[in-house]
Amino acid sequence: MEENQNRQDVDLKRIEEELVRGLSGLDNSVEEESRGLDWFERYTAHQIQHIKKKQHRDNWLFAFIGLTVLCFVLFTLYSSPKIFILIQIAVFLLILIYGTLSSSRKRGRQL
């Protein structure tokens, strides 16, 4: 019984050692990249810009949804929800028209 346990322990120890050796081999097989900090700074700056844009967009979306809910509640309480839905459709159409116009203007500038 004890002998069996000892053999299992030895097996496990060897597996652990082989794992460490194999994983170290993985590390060594990766050639070190000698790219300087300039490249990384550019990459980070680009990423930060991208993330800030995304956060800005998300903030606007969040504000828009929040306002919509608030207005709906206020209109339902003090006026008619029908009026609110009509206003909402009008606002949505305006945003849609603005989006289409600005993107077509951008395309025009690129050409």
Partner 1 sequence: MEDKVLIRKAKRGDQQSLAVLLHTHYPFLFKYCIKLTMNKYTAEDLTQETMAKAIEKISLYKGEAKFSSWLITIATNVYVDSKRKNSRYQLWRQEQIHQRQMRWQIEYHNEDWNDTMQVLGTLSDNMRIPIILKHYYGYSYADIAEMMNKSEGTIKSRVHNGIEAIRKELKADGRESK
Please give the angle made by the CA atoms of 92, 80 and 74, to the nearest 5 degrees. 75
Of the candidates 33, 15, 13, the residue with the CA atom closest to the CA atom of residue 23: 15
User: In this structure, what token pair is assigned to residue 8?
Assistant: 């299992």
Smaller CB separation from partner 1, 9 or 76: 9
CB of 52 to partner 1, least distance (A): 10
Smaller CB separation from partner 1, 7 or 106: 7
Smaller CB separation from partner 1, 47 or 104: 47
Of the candidates 97, 69, 103, the residue with the CA atom closest to the CA atom of residue 84: 69
CB of 24 to partner 1, least distance (A): 8
Residues that bind partner 1 (CB under 8 A): 8, 11-12, 15-16, 18-30, 32-33, 37, 40-41, 44-45, 47-48, 50-51, 55
CB of 2 to partner 1, least distance (A): 18
Please name the residues in contact with 71: beta carbons below 8 A apart, sequence gap of 6 or more.
84, 87, 88
